Structures are given as structure tokens and as C-alpha cells.
């Protein structure tokens, strides 16, 4: 058996690929603690719909950063990286193997490759830039940015409002073009040789069948409908503007709300959610196969050949 002391184990793969079961088995065999790397599972309120580990799973192995934030709170990559570093260090301090598990590719990519050295920008500067944009419009705003760094601005796509605003925010905060910080490269959180990256690379057709099976099983007794109703009652203050909150990206939530409000049928809720799950799995599949130079271990899809879940 490989010695994972002082290693950070990462287990990645698309939704419904079997990460939870594999990570629990791996943690039991290697004295590990599981740390969440899924941008929806970090929120409270929808543990079933977001396919978080079950109560029995959590009893069997320690899990961290699951149901951590309230749905109205914001978690971005930078905040997650700060939290995950704290949890990884906690594991090392307690002679445990940190096992970072999830399907949010951006989280995992930044953990392994590091983060850019672009500084944080104060909210007052962001508000100032937003007001300027609203006052002078896109064309004049782009011209002002070009006066700072014409070469960089010319490389941006036309109508890329977000990057233009980000550019001017950084300049006003630091006096430097954003390119100055990008050229410095990423700052490593941990040395790359400390990571052991396992990727579950399952056959797409099998994956899509698992997506469909899992969601149908989830709604079989309509327990997930009760979960969405409870969510709507507990967090009624955010339901009317649900799209403004990150948790709205939890697949099935918005369609579930529509079903409960009699705007769509139960079958439409299920079929829409399954379609969205498959589309998401496809994007994840592409990401993990294109964004990483190598994996230390790829789980052979044949481990699912006797799977009776579809």
C-alpha cells in the first residue's frame, strides 16, 4: 500500500461518477479525512439535492466543509482556498491524510496550480468603477482603460464588460495594470509534488445512465420535494431573488420550486433536472480531461461493470 503521509490526496471526477463511495473507502484504508471541493455541497439547506454525504457516511469518516455556509452567504474560489488550506493543515497536525473530494474543477485546479497574485479590491473601489461605467458607457470606458494598457485591452473580446471593469478596479487599487500581476504567475499554496491526484474517468454513456438513475432514485419517495419545501420556508427571504445566490445553481432547485408552485408538472421537474445533470456531467468530463497535464491515478471505468444502479 502506498504511503500517503504528508501527501494531499485529490479525488476528482464528474457528478455521479462514484467519488463519494470511493473517497470513503480510500479514507478508511488510509487514515484520512474528507474535505469538500464541491461549490454547491458547501451550502446548507439542500443536502439531498446537492448529493452530499449521508449521515451514515459522516459517522463513518470525518467530513469537513460540507453544509458549511448559509445559502445567502457567498463562497468564491479565493475563500474556499483559504478554508481548505486551514482544513488540510488541520489534517497534517493530527496525522491524518487530507482527501480533497469534489467535482468543481476550478477549485481543484487552483488548489493544485496555485492562485494569481492579483490583490483583493476594496468594495468602495468596485462601486466607484461601476458608477463610472454606468455614467460614461462601454465605448468611453474601454478608451479610458486603453490609456492605461492599450496592448492588454486590445486583446480582450469586444463587449467584455466584466474584464474591463476588473482591469480598472485593479489599476485604481494598485496603480498597476492587471498584466503586471498576471506576468508574476501563480503563487503555490502547496508544492505540486505534495499532491496525489486521482481522477475517476468513467465511460460517458455509463455516466449518463448513472445521472439518470441517481436523480430518479432521489425523487422516488418525493423526500427531495419535502427538502425543497423546507428550504423555501426556512429561506423565504431569498426565494424571490434566488438567481442572485450561488445556491441557485444546485441542479433541481429552481425546477423543484416551479413544480411546488404548480408552474410545471412533476415529470417536467424530473426530466429537466436529469437533462441539466447530464449536461453538467459532460462539462465536468471535458474539464477534467483538458485542464490537467497528468493524473497520478486514473480509476478504470471497469470498476463499475457490476454496478446495479442502472
Cell representation of residue 140: 468611453
Q: What is the CATH number of domain 123-184?
A: 1.10.20.140
Q: In this structure, what DSSP letter does residue 135 have?
A: H
pLDDT at 32: 97
Q: At what angle do helices 204-218 and 266-290 cross, to 10 degrees?
A: 140
Q: How far apart (Å, rounded) are the C-alpha atoms in residues 294 and 199?
A: 10
Taking only the tens place, the pLDDT of each residue in 220-261 is 989 999 999 999 999 999 999 999 899 999 999 999 999 999
Q: What is the pLDDT of residue 8?
A: 98
- Residue 91 reports pLDDT greater than 90: yes
User: b/e map of 83-104 (b: 16 or more CB within 10 Å)?
Assistant: bbeebbeebeeeebbbbbbbbb
Whole-number pLDDT of residue 160: 86
Instruction: Please state, in angstroms and rounded to a whole number, the distance separating the CA atoms of residues 181 and 116.
Output: 7
Neighbour tally for 78: CB within 10 Å: 13
Is the Cβ–Cβ distance between 189 and 8 less than 8 Å? no
Q: Are 164 and 141 in contact (CB under 8 A)?
A: yes
Q: Which H or E run contains 97?
A: strand 97-102
Residue 293 pLDDT class (50, 70, 90 cuts):
confident
What does DSSP assign to residue 67? S
Per-residue pLDDT band for 308 (boundaries 50, 70, 90) equals very low
Work out the percent of the chain whose per-residue pLDDT is above 70: 96
For 192-216, how does the pLDDT look when each residue is reduced to its tens digit (9 = 90+)? 999 999 999 988 999 999 999 999 9
pTM of this prediction exceeds 0.85: no
pLDDT digits (tens, 9 = 90+) for 102-114: 999 999 999 999 9
Can you read off the three cell numbers belonging to residue 80?
Answer: 474556499
| Helix (H/G/I), strand (E/B), else coil: 31 | coil
Ranges of H-type helices in 102-222: 105-113, 123-148, 150-154, 161-174, 178-182, 204-218
CATH of domain 8-115+189-304: 3.40.50.300
Domains 8-115+189-304 and 123-184 share a fold: no
Domain boundaries, the chain: 8-115+189-304, 123-184
Amino acid at each position: 500500500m502506498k504511503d500517503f503521509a504528508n501527501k494531499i490526496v485529490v479525488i476528482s471526477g464528474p457528478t455521479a461518477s462514484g467519488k463519494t463511495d470511493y473517497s470513503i473507502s480510500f479514507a478508511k484504508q488510509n487514515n484520512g479525512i474528507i474535505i469538500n471541493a464541491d461549490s454547491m455541497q458547501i451550502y446548507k439547506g439542500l443536502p439531498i439535492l446537492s448529493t452530499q454525504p449521508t449521515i451514515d457516511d459522516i459517522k463513518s469518516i470525518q467530513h469537513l466543509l460540507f453544509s458549511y455556509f448559509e445559502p445567502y452567504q457567498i463562497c468564491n474560489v479565493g475563500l474556499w482556498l483559504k478554508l481548505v488550506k486551514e482544513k488540510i493543515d488541520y489534517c497534517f497536525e493530527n496525522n491524518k491524510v487530507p482527501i480533497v473530494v469534489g467535482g468543481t474543477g476550478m477549485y481543484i485546479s487552483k488548489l493544485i496550480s496555485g492562485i494569481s497574485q492579483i490583490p483583493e479590491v476594496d468594495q468602495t473601489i468596485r462601486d466607484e468603477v461601476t458608477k463610472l461605467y454606468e455614467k460614461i458607457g462601454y465605448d468611453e470606458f474601454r478608451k479610458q482603460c486603453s490609456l492605461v494598457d492599450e496592448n492588454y485591452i486590445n486583446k480582450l473580446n469586444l463587449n467584455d464588460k466584466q474584464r474591463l471593469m476588473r482591469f480598472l478596479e485593479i489599476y485604481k487599487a494598485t496603480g498597476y495594470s492587471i498584466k503586471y500581476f498576471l506576468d508574476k504567475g501563480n503563487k503555490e499554496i502547496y508544492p505540486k509534488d505534495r499532491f496525489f491526484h486521482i481522477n475517476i474517468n468513467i465511460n460517458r454513456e455509463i455516466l449518463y445512465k448513472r445521472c439518470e438513475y441517481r436523480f430518479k432514485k432521489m425523487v422516488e419517495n418525493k423526500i427531495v420535494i419535502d427538502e425543497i419545501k423546507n428550504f423555501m420556508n426556512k429561506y423565504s427571504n431569498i426565494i424571490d431573488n434566488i438567481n442572485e445566490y450561488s445556491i441557485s445553481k444546485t441542479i433541481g432547485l429552481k425546477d423543484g420550486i416551479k413544480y411546488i408552485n404548480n408552474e410545471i408538472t412533476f415529470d417536467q421537474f424530473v426530466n429537466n433536472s436529469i437533462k441539466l445533470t447530464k449536461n453538467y456531467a459532460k462539462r465536468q468530463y471535458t474539464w477534467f480531461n483538458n485542464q490537467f497535464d497528468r493524473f497520478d491515478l486514473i480509476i478504470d471505468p471497469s470498476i463499475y461493470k457490476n454496478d446495479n444502479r442502472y
